[in-house]
Structure 1
Amino acid sequence: MTPSDDTDLSDVRVAVSRPSSSSGTDPYLRDGPRIQTPDPIVVVPVTDELLDTHTGLNVRRFLQTAVAIAADNDGRVLLLGIETVPNEAALETVRRSVNTEQPIDDETTTAVKTVRERQTQLAEVANVARGLSPGVRISAAVRIVLDVTEGIMDVLGEEDETAVLLLRGTGLDEGWLLQRSTIERILADAECDVFVENLGVRGGENALYVPDVAEHTVASLAESDVGTIDSILVPVGAGPHAALATEAARAIARYTDASVTVLHVISPDASVEVRAESEDLLEFADYVLGSRVRTETVLREASNTTDTIVQEAKKHDFVAIGAPEKKSRLEQLVFQSARETISDLSEATILMAHDSDQTMRSLYYRWKRGIEAIDNENEPNN
């Protein structure tokens, strides 16, 4: 791939992971600059599967989600290129090249040549991300690791205000034998907000390259199309991750000018108390979305909550949902490819949110709403 004229590879930093404890002291060790910023940051792991021409995923849609979340939080996006090497010897080869500032196109080393290729690809992706929202700062780095999950976790541990956006179908959802996948391990162990996105076919296909059949050439990512997002569904419950999912819906709605439907499902024989709590839950979600978002709240009676959510999701382009608290059929919306699960729902993009603070986010919003109510009561009447 030949980089475009406006591609600057110096913007894409290279960092090599630390050697294992068994390798002893390494005089050549340099991790690269720590990625530090006082602003919230959305980390987007970019694997080689995501850059594969045969993946069939639309990178622009994926970038759009990251940029929207960053913009809504006055933060920035870090595109984290993850490149694995098979052993410590290969890691050392790349480390020496980085530390001695030798050209990273050393023809004698496959690993070093691959790093150069990843820099080029990541620079192209970063250019596209900058075009999506010029007001959001985009940075990029290639990290050379022995283990994908540990490489991502190391970066997440370097930041205070961090969220990570993981994409299904790019190798992060695969585990060997009985081992957990990268997505499962990060959801369980990361001390930050986690978003998992399952792209639907409505968002468009093709990843980094878009074939131009007529000209028998390969067009750049910048020329690819992304389906519009006109409507967003937010199924809410009493779980601790609902507020973060609602925040994500707010970010996407503000970015795309989409309308949002907030849905809560109760049993037909629900008590008066449950109905009152459900109304409060919908009112709370409406508050989180804010006045800038066109919102409709829906309280629906049904004996099967999941079926009701699935049927409603078919009417929307995008679904933001909190992480299920226990094993349920709702997990299929995220933990299986949309093409493998409910066929009628394969067009919608599903974004699952996992809140690292659990109930703290909900408590903050309720406290903030209470303070605003008190302030309004204390205002003198005209």
Structure 2
Amino acid sequence: MRLPRLATAALVAAAALTLGGCLLPSPPERPVERTAPRAPTTPSGAAAPEVVPVEPDAPVTSGDTTASDTGELYAGEAGETSDGFLPDAAVDVVLPPTAGTPVVRPGIALPVHEDGDELLPGTAHEGSGNLLLTTSGRLELSAGGAEYTCSGTVINSESGLIVLTAAHCIFDDDTRDWYDRISFAPAYERGEAPFGTWVAEEWWVPEQYLEANDRWLDGADDDGWMGFDFGFIRFAPQDGATLEDAVGGQGVSFTAETNGVVIAGYPGNDPFDSEVLRHCAEDRLDYGAGGDANYGADCEMGDGASGSAFVSNLDPTTGAGHITAVFSNGGATGAYGPPLGVTAWNGLRSIDG
């Protein structure tokens, strides 16, 4: 859900779910440039299987082929939901964090918690060495004179400039256009941006999201966009340095597996204020609630938390783990987010480099 800044009312919820998103501005002087996909590689350097984007109705993988098991595929449920939607198809690609070592074992690093309390209060974000604190940040978006906030996370990438967030934090559902400007402040806390504010220069969202979202906004019964509500933003470097140079990069798993998650972001709906990093923790996720291709966690964060990472295998000492999904919608009823798979992996490759 995107949170309007300088406004007291939250956005109107649709279909009993609140969207919390930010939208990304398109550069006014040039079209978005797409780079040719590179051959994917695994962290070991071995060639990963060639993969192609999938449509919402394409079959999901039926087996778990990851080298080291980190959980159950789609929380033990079939990929197709009761409403006939399918998630992004899993692919055997796991990017490690660029600092710290995730703990791959049953359970979660923090106690189960659903109230969105401040994450590690009293711990300095700057130079803390905790990836969950430094890579998580607040996105600020501008469109038609209005300003909004979302959440995002710096990830391991070739360019070192990529933030993972929700698609509706990149594409404006209200105007059906890109935002005029988007910026990112990693480790933001109460007006302070210890690692600076970074400006977006390129972005990507799935075609599946755009097509299904248009049908849904036009009144068609199509919640298929929820399974593809993820996207990537590339930010301009600063003085030759990258985001990863400044804060490190969280790992990402495109295997659709979970091992319990910690969700960290900047909700701004009452009683929150979007000024501090807040979290929920859940040892097991549901899948397919309401017939949608989303994971579900007991978590009461809402507006402004959109784009928050679902971090699995979190190391409590280093804050390193693997992002397996992003916060798409929710509120008092829980937090829901699409698992990342082959479409997300190809989207990352298309703007990274």
TM-score, normalising length: structure 1: 0.21
Q: Which structure has greater helix proportion? A: 1
Q: Which structure has greater strand proportion? A: 2
TM-score, normalising length: structure 2: 0.22
Larger radius of gyration: 1
Q: Which has the higher contact order (CA 8 A, sep 6+)?
A: 2
